Every structure is written in structure tokens, then in C-alpha cells.
A and B are shown apart, each in its own frame.
Chain A
Amino acid sequence: DSGVTQTPKHLITATGQRVTLRCSPRSGDLSVYWYQQSLDQGLQFLIQYYNGEERAKGNILERFSAQQFPDLHSELNLSSLELGDSALYFCASSVGREAYEQYFGPGTRLTVT
């Protein structure tokens, strides 16, 4: 168990809808990272927050947004969902902001129908 928690484990929704994925980092970790894992694209970095502020941005679509709250948990919001957004979404955390080793949560499997 990495100490990173993600909810929900599974999410099934329809095209055009909006969902929110939640992540709680390991105790003491200030950075949260979001990744998307799909069969065709592999593991893609979406965004990093450090202590409440956006630190680095990857291949995140404009329909997606994230934030990190004062208690350091983070939410990833996905809107206007398309079939191609179906994937595993992972949250990871680390102590610092410099993207050293990261500790991954169990993931949220999103299915868009």
C-alpha cells in the first residue's frame, strides 16, 4: 500500500458528462501528479501541483482541469467526456516539487459509454 488513496475505483458515465476524480496524497507529501494510462497512449503525464499551486503541465486537454486544496488533496475534473477519455487515471505524490520518485495510488478506471 503506497499511502495514496483515490476515489472512486470505477466510474461509468456517458459522453458529454462531467466527472470528478479525487486523490489524497501520502502523509507529508506536498506534490500531487495526475496521469492517464490507456492502451494506445501508454502512461501520459497530465499535471502536477505542489503545495496548492500548479507546478508543471503535460498533455492535459482543455476539457480537463485540476486543483489542489489546502489540505493537499487534489481533484481532477473531466468535462464534455468523449469515448476516447476512457482510461485509467492515476494520482501520484512525492515529498518535494522536483519530480523524484513518486508513489502511485490504485487508480480510477473511467469508462465513457
Chain B
Amino acid sequence: AQSVAQPEDQVNVAEGNPLTVKCTYSVSGNPYLFWYVQYPNRGLQFLLKYITGDNLVKGSYGFEAEFNKSQTSFHLKKPSALVSDSALYFCAVRGVYTGGFKTIFGAGTRLFVKA
């Protein structure tokens, strides 16, 4: 089965500290992986993606993600957290199905950055 797991419901970090939001996946074939962020009462915003190439992917707002094929992980990272980074973060994978592709989202991880 194709799936995405975000093992932490919530991550708390102090402003200025590095942050990591974890994601593991299971997919047939080559993984196409994404991170999205959702602020309160807003739609999801695309942050970054991994399709192929360098395992470290850089995205918007200083975020980056590390693809690890052996561990089937795609963790989101930022060297120095900001209070404004507090939001709901979704990891997603493109799953292959008969006749097309579907994006499967994880359950989301709520990030709290304390001043």
C-alpha cells in the first residue's frame, strides 16, 4: 500500500533553534515527495519537492528537506526557527494507481515555535 506517515502530531521548538519535522513514506516505484504548509484558515502552500537528483532539497522560507532512500524518509528541516513558522505541515507522496497518479497526504504535524 502507498502511504505517508508523520509520526509526530506536534513539534515544539524555541525560536532560533533548528527544527525537524519527520516524514516516512511507502510507495511503488520512484518516490515523488512534497512538503506543504497550512496556516490557520488558509489553504495549503507548496514548500518544496523531491523528484530526482540531490538528496537535499531547498524550498521556500528557508526550509529544506533531506531524502533518504534507505530509510524511506523525507524529513523537513530549518536551521533557525521563527515564531512565524508556527503552522501545520503536511508531507505528501505521489502514488501510482491504475490510470493515473494521486497525491497522498500525511496526517500533518503541528509546529509550535516559542519566542
Interface residues of A (CB under 8 A from B): 2, 4, 33, 42-43, 45, 48, 55-56, 58, 90, 92, 97-107
Contact = CB atoms under 8 A, between A and B. Distances in A.
Contact of B45 (A42, A48, A97, A104): A104
Nearest to A45: B102
B8 to A, nearest CB: 15
Given A43-B108, A99-B100, 11 more contacts: A42-B105, A43-B90, A48-B100, A48-B102, A90-B43, A92-B43, A98-B94, A99-B94, A100-B32, A106-B42, A107-B42
Nearest to A41: B107
A101 B102 contact: no
Given A42-B108, A101-B34, A33 B103 contact: yes
Interface residues on B, range: 20 to 34
A55 B100 contact: yes
Interface string B71-114: 00000000000000000001000100101111111111000000
A99 B45 contact: no
B103 A45 contact: yes
Contacts of A90: 43-44
B107 to A, nearest CB: 5
Nearest to A58: B102
A30 to B, nearest CB: 14
Nearest to A105: B43
A56 B97 contact: yes
A55 B99 CA distance: 8
Given A56-B97, A99-B94, A107 B103 contact: no
